[in-house]
Structure 1
Amino acid sequence: MSTSIGFIGLGIMGGPMSANLAAAGFAVAGYDVHRPALDRLTAAGGQPCARIAEAVVDADVVITMLPDSPQVEEVVLGEEGVLDYAKPGTLLIDMSTIRPETSRRVASLGSTRGVRVLDAPVSGGQQGAIDGALSIMAGGDERDFRAAGGIFDVLGKTVVHVGPHGAGQTVKAANQLVVGGTYALVAEAIVFLEASGVDASAGLEVLAGGLAGSRILELKRKTMVAREFQPGFRIDLHHKDMGIVLDAARTAGVALPVGALTAQLIAAARAQGYGDLDHSAVLRVVEGLSGVRAWFGHPGFSV
């Protein structure tokens, strides 16, 4: 393909996403602060870069996939950042999960440099990134969204233009609200079933096939019952995202009482040292509230 892509941030999500784009025939030049991430891009057929400028200067499209708003501000808006080197007409697609106001600021400053901007956070976790099956919620100009269609088709299965700049981040915040709350309720269901002497695996299998069914029950019920919490999406990151949810809700002037409780459960998981575990490890906090420590000695226990 003729489109050249500069990809900044080659971690758990950005790594497989950039690899899929290279496999699809895009010319991908990538930058990351960690050498192993660059080596993986090389193995996937991409071009590793030692500086942001190298990845950006000749790119038609720049994609950023970074941990949080401060990193996006530094990489995009800071000295020697993306906007210092992107040529006029470049399409910048920020696929990080950050504050909506940060996305709007990036779009505003990008326009002064002739750079088109989309905020396009994703849902689906590491496996979704590997499989090219992410959900992508994009905010920005409709024409820019259409221009990114060939790229989004490689990365995701559900791709929706949800509104103007910042709207993608608002929808992602809503996504994290629902995901966090669902994990908390599934955790409570497991504790309730086990304390009642019911086989939690059998019980959750029934729930997954009924009105209580969800993607989380489909994908995570077995590992949660087995207390296997290898990270697909870490508690630390979900804690950050719930801060975005509550801040955005305050800005919108709405109350999210269940969301606030969910944020506290996730914060407790982080405070108790589970930040590097999968966000399903909120189960440990729910167990602790009932005085249950079922994970110790559990045959399936794994961090």
Structure 2
Amino acid sequence: MVLRCFFSPVGARHRYAPFPSLCYAALLSDTDYACKETCRMQPDNDPDIGVIGLGLMGTAITERLLEAGWRPHIWNRSAEKTGPLAERGAIPSSNPIADCRRVIISLYSSDVVDEVLQKFLVALKPGQILIDTTTGSPEFSERLAARLQLRGAALLDAPISGSSEQTRRGEACVIVGGDTDSFTQCRSLWPVLGGSVFHVGGSGSAARMKLVTNLVLGLNRAALAEGLVYAASQGISPSAALEVLRGSPAYSRQMDTKGSKMLASDYTVQARLTQHLKDVRLILETAAQSGLSLTLTAAHQQLLERAEILGFGAADNSAVIEAVRAGLQSDVTSH
């Protein structure tokens, strides 16, 4: 398996190139060779790029593209979301696939991607590359890639690990599956989408790896929530507990990105709780297909479902702590 990683150096920033150059490092099999080259965030000789879907992530992606000098052609089912981005230079489109050789897709689920593409793929031409950043079904990615290949086009499943805010700051991790040639044709795009990029194999492989990262990330977040509530139950200040945890072997980046939000009950949305619940259900479904039982993830699903019942589905996923608090209160009242 080939892993290709982009690393963002620390350096001066300016409007069109927040990261002026990136180191491209390839970790290759014994039959290949390692190589390094530099690339820039600026667009190549084809700056027009489509964006289908302007939710939290799609909007953050479009903002990054605009800052880097690309010309995004944007579409969203609710057209009012295109207005603010159009004012900044994005181009509203009735079908980005008809307008651009490369098109980014950022939608809620594979089912939504399938539904939306039904009307757009009529314009598909040989040589086009669709880049699906949706966290979705690996099997769907494989089927869609096969459909596009029959028409001379290509699919890269490229889910983004990180919140919309991390994407906006260029700190997200992009996991890419698909053929190497298509991946290379998009190399000027990758540093716009994330600070690190991994090409993990063929179609569907990135969708699978994204579910792995979401499993671990979600459990880290849930463990932090439970730890903070447990600390409070033991008479320890949650803010003091968070400080100790950050300096201990228990540290995870969720303490930096979600810890203060949990303490302040600030659930301003970076990534919706209900969307992570959708991903957890998909993780359990794919695990069951492999004959695997994921005990911790099943418990996590129940926790997220409790948070959703409490009315936090549309809130930031840090609101999972409210489900832990509710569980503590119900345990206390039942004794």
TM-score normalised by length of structure 1: 0.91
CA contact (8 A) 2:102 2:128 kept: yes
**Aligned counterparts, 1:1-303, within 5 A:** 1-3=44-46, 4-49=48-93, 51-52=94-95, 55-76=96-117, 78=118, 80-81=119-120, 83-291=121-329
CA contact (8 A) 1:8 1:63 kept: yes
d(CA) in 2 for partners of 1:73, 1:62: 15
CA contact (8 A) 1:265 1:285 kept: yes
Alpha-carbon deviation of 1:43? 2.2
Where 1:39 maps in the other structure, the secondary structure is helix
Higher helix share: 1
CA contact (8 A) 1:5 1:29 kept: yes
AA aligned to 2:297 is: G
Where in structure 1 are there 5+ consecutive unaligned residues?
294-303
Where in structure 2 are there 5+ consecutive unaligned residues?
1-43
d(CA) in 2 for partners of 1:175, 1:25: 31
Q: Output one character per residue of 1:130-163: Cα deviation in whole Å (capped at 9) or x when no partner.
A: 1122210111112211221111111100100112
CA contact (8 A) 1:23 1:45 kept: no
d(CA) in 2 for partners of 1:162, 1:241: 20
d(CA) in 1 for partners of 2:61, 2:45: 18
Where 1:211 maps in the other structure, the secondary structure is coil
Where 2:99 maps in the other structure, the secondary structure is coil
AA aligned to 1:254 is: L
Where 2:329 maps in the other structure, the secondary structure is coil
Alpha-carbon deviation of 1:127? 0.6
AA aligned to 2:57 is: M
CA contact (8 A) 1:177 1:259 kept: yes
d(CA) in 1 for partners of 2:171, 2:291: 34
CA contact (8 A) 2:66 2:89 kept: yes
Q: Output one character per residue of 1:180-237: Cα deviation in whole Å (capped at 9) or x when no partner.
A: 2112111111111111111111111111122111110012212211222122111110
Q: Output one character per residue of 1:42-94: Cα deviation in whole Å (capped at 9) or x when no partner.
A: 12211112x22xx2213110110001111100122x1x22x211211001100
AA aligned to 1:159 is: V
TM-score normalised by length of structure 2: 0.82
AA aligned to 1:59 is: C
d(CA) in 2 for partners of 1:264, 1:133: 30
Q: Output one character per residue of 1:254-279: Cα deviation in whole Å (capped at 9) or x when no partner.
A: 22111111111112211222101111
Alpha-carbon deviation of 1:282? 1.2
Q: Output one character per residue of 1:82-116: Cα deviation in whole Å (capped at 9) or x when no partner.
A: x2112110011001111111111110111111111
d(CA) in 1 for partners of 2:208, 2:302: 20
d(CA) in 2 for partners of 1:98, 1:23: 28
Alpha-carbon deviation of 1:179? 1.8
Say what the alpha-carbon RMSD is for the aligned residues: 1.5
AA aligned to 2:83 is: D
d(CA) in 2 for partners of 1:71, 1:88: 24
d(CA) in 1 for partners of 2:171, 2:327: 36
Match of 1:298 in 2: none
Where 2:192 maps in the other structure, the secondary structure is helix
Length, aligned pairs only = 287
